[in-house]
Structure 1
């Protein structure tokens, strides 16, 4: 689910946004410098792992919510970075040059779509009566560009990215395209906040798999048959935040939290899965702790 990917991106962001390289955990949090600190090494190897709990809809379009545990990570080795977003893994194969404020990203991704693959977590009886779906394994790539030092300091980051992925497991045999914009800024050496916006376009097979209802599924569930084509499915907005527990957001333990809102659109919002037994307004929240080393 797109909203879940956005929320748990924060678990890896804490190592990716530079704060002051001269902070002292024994001293009060210092303001972020207005100019870059030459001691900061953008190519240093690092790894962040975050673990927490999230609340999210039972399936995309549901108005029933459940809690799940989640673990996410981000790292950089020899200039090659990788990060997870929900059940997706991205690998950026273009290293950022030392001292450069513009960074290009390009690389592969692999994702798993688990929506409605487990009837036991679905509370609504009509949706539970629909056929259980197979897990979609989606493979593709992404490209993007980011600029460091945009508005608030030398260390805030504005990024734009577009990702394309296609099912290779024969589940929905279609594609997903996700353009997104992210803005992150450290407030001091100990904390940061961010906002994110994205849209999601899907193919015909994806649309029918997750929001359509075949005649057989209609008989089993009592919901009216429904056919739809692919297109713009939704937009999402997220707010993120992190607070270091050790004085420097780039290392050690930190708390993180995030809230994401997704709005289903058009034929997707008009599906009986949404209008009869769900909601076009989808919320995801998460809180947890991360460690960077």
Structure 2
């Protein structure tokens, strides 16, 4: 699952804290009372700091909320304003597991709270309502214990509304491990490949837009290509119970680097920055 800097919630709040991989201390077997395949739901909330748009050098503070869980072996989680469902039931144990399922997303880039007045003068854009599919392979029990996980995934999503009318393909790799019954860390890296309509919609500037904003006209983003690479991390500490239930505090941090013709857009090169950070602090409850 990709980190796309969707503009309402922390893109790095990937609350994988409740996956079987982080259920127990790495140096001890799970207690008999713990069912790693049991139903569970985690709800997390907290403030998130994000760029005001993709390519901005100005930041906004927004409320973030995320939900992650598993019901009858079907896993689901949110990432920003996206929802992912793994339709292949998990067995709750170590070994390999295929992942495949649908996703839906609302892309809110430049729909509100545009920080730079020149970019704001270009006008607000439509929300992109996207649907797609994601899949991959996950290995539980990799290096440190029977409970760490390595996941390699890719997603495809397309606008079905009246925005960019194009697509994004996002491969990613992530590694997660418990440090104890109460502590957990996760690292991920990915990239985003976008269609020509996507690039043109978010990065090109028409002559009319140039006259209104003072930015130079630009048409170089009207081709498919790699938009960015991105990294993120999450750290969590359980305050009550352990990582499988109770109250947890978490922190996230992420970085995105725009590439090539998209980084050269005046929206980025003159009014923003190709490198952007994001982060969040919050609390989560698992039941």
Report the TM-score when normalising by structure 2: 0.93
Q: CA deviation at 1:236?
A: 0.4
Q: Could you tell me which residue of structure 1 aligns to residue 4 of structure 2?
A: 2
Q: How many Å separate the matches in 1 of 2:23 and 2:48?
A: 30
Q: Could you tell me which residue of structure 1 aligns to residue 106 of structure 2?
A: 112
2:172 pairs with 1:180: yes
2:128 pairs with 1:126: no
Q: How many Å separate the matches in 1 of 2:266 and 2:229?
A: 20
Q: 1:25-54 deviations in whole A, cap 9, x for unaligned?
A: xxxxxx423666665423211000000001
2:68 pairs with 1:66: no
Q: Could you tell me which residue of structure 1 aligns to residue 51 of structure 2?
A: 57
Q: CA deviation at 1:137?
A: 0.2
List runs of 5+ in structure 1 lacking aligned partners.
22-30
Q: How many Å separate the matches in 1 of 2:236 and 2:200?
A: 38
Are the counterparts in 1 of residues 23 and 36 from structure 2 also a CA contact under 8 Å? no
SS of 2:184's partner is: strand
Q: How many Å separate the matches in 2 of 1:147 and 1:46?
A: 20
Q: CA deviation at 1:101?
A: 1.9
Q: How many Å separate the matches in 2 of 1:148 and 1:259?
A: 24
Runs of at least 4 residues of structure 1 off by over 6 A? none
Q: Spell out the pairing of 1:253-272 with structure 2 (5 A cutoff).
A: 253-272=247-266
Q: CA deviation at 1:268?
A: 0.7
List runs of 5+ in structure 2 lacking aligned partners.
none
Q: How many Å separate the matches in 1 of 2:42 and 2:86?
A: 16
Q: Could you tell me which residue of structure 2 aligns to residue 165 of structure 1?
A: 157
SS of 1:253's partner is: strand
Q: How many Å separate the matches in 2 of 1:171 and 1:127?
A: 17
Are the counterparts in 2 of residues 124 and 277 from structure 1 also a CA contact under 8 Å? yes
SS of 1:177's partner is: strand
Are the counterparts in 1 of residues 21 and 141 from structure 2 also a CA contact under 8 Å? no
Q: 1:137-164 deviations in whole A, cap 9, x for unaligned?
A: 0000001111011111111100011000
Q: Spell out the pairing of 1:144-293 with structure 2 (5 A cutoff).
A: 144-227=136-219, 228=221, 229-293=223-287
Report the TM-score when normalising by structure 1: 0.91
